[in-house]
Amino acid sequence: MSSHSPPRLETPARLHERLRVRLGRAVFDYGWEGLARLGKLHPMARPQRHGVDVTYDVPYRPGGGPSHQLDVYVPTPGAEHPRTVYQPPYPVVLYIHGGGFRILSKDTHWLMGLAFARRGMVVMNVNYRLSPQHPFPAALEDVAAAYRFAVEHAARFSGDPSRILFAGESAGANLALSLALLTCTRRREPWAESVFAKGIVPRAVIPMCGMLQVSDWQRFTRRRPLSSFLTDRLQETAEAYLGHDASIHGESAELADPLLLLEQGLPTERPLPPMFAGVGTADPLLDDTRRLARALDRRRVPHEARYYPGEIHAFHAFVFRQAARRCWEDQFAFIDRYL
């Protein structure tokens, strides 16, 4: 008689749950990818229509392949778009894409590159390693390297490294906020220390609709009931990025929760930069932006939090809609004040 126990069959409920999670993930992942590719087919997606040149796949970290490349959007001299307000050397935007730390890329976020560049800014639109293959802190290490590249090579693209901004949405907002803290705070991690050593704090930070605390993803469900589709996405984001036990990352794990660092009164050697945070009121991540605004109030950091009634997550990507256009105008007005 065999000593091995027969394999346990999954219960119908467990099988249904696994299928639901996989189907939801496919819809979410491929849906965003498909929308980005579809949008790029539009004639107005061509950079030349906006007076912008793009250099694709510039390596910012040796030996990393596509994960360590960025695209550089540069306003074309003599072909300024009517909305251009800056002249060379241009301000520099380090743009960090969202996607739950798991999906998407600089290629899906071409619209963000165009939007800032046609305003008269050099945009470095960054790829980084994705989870779960590359969990925390890989993404943050990569954007730290991209920041160093931006400071060291901005002039090569007619950019002014002393006028750099960080921007990102969703997971990218988390990374942008963490990176901003690293420019102001001395830490022990070598890659974090190298950011502080550059000595350049961004003129402004734009963390849009951010998941600014990865730990305790259940907080969103405690505020109000969420669909299983949204709950599954929040859980897989947190577990893919931080794992089931964040303590394995030691003190570094706190950098996955930059919002908590601000709320806890993290002391900084340099003043924190001004921040603009926009979010739709129908976004499940809404509370993190509200908390960010309160934390910045307490620290007397110049900031502006804008709430767009009834808008969903990352609504500003749908630029054909009035609310999205208003959000972009609000961002630009804020940036102009600090540049």
Catalytic annotation on 105? no
Say which amino acid occupies 55.
T
Query: For residues 171 and 97, what is the distance between their CA atoms, to the nearest angstrom?
Result: 7
Q: Report whether 305 contacts 292 (CB < 8 A).
A: yes
Annotated catalytic residue within 160, 232, 257, 283: 283
Which positions ≥6 away from 167 have C-beta within 8 Å? 93, 94, 95, 96, 112, 116, 176, 205, 206, 207, 208
Beta strands in the chain (DSSP E): 52-59, 69-75, 90-96, 122-126, 159-169, 204-208, 275-280, 303-308
Catalytic annotation on 313? yes
Annotated catalytic residue within 105, 131, 170, 178: 170
Q: Report whether 97 contacts 125 (CB < 8 A).
A: yes
Q: How far apart are the first and last CA of the chain?
A: 78
Taking the CA atoms of residue 147, residue 149, residue 151 and residue 152 in that order, the dihedral angle to the nearest 10 degrees is: 160
Residue with tokens 């540049």: 339
Q: Report whether 322 contacts 254 (CB < 8 A).
A: no
Catalytic annotation on 232? no
* Full DSSP string of 174-234: HHHHHHHHHHHS--SSHHHHHHHHH----SEEEEES-----S-TTHHHHHS---HHHHHHH
Annotated catalytic residue within 68, 97, 303, 313: 313
Element (H, E) at 2: none
Residues belonging to the active site: 170, 283, 313
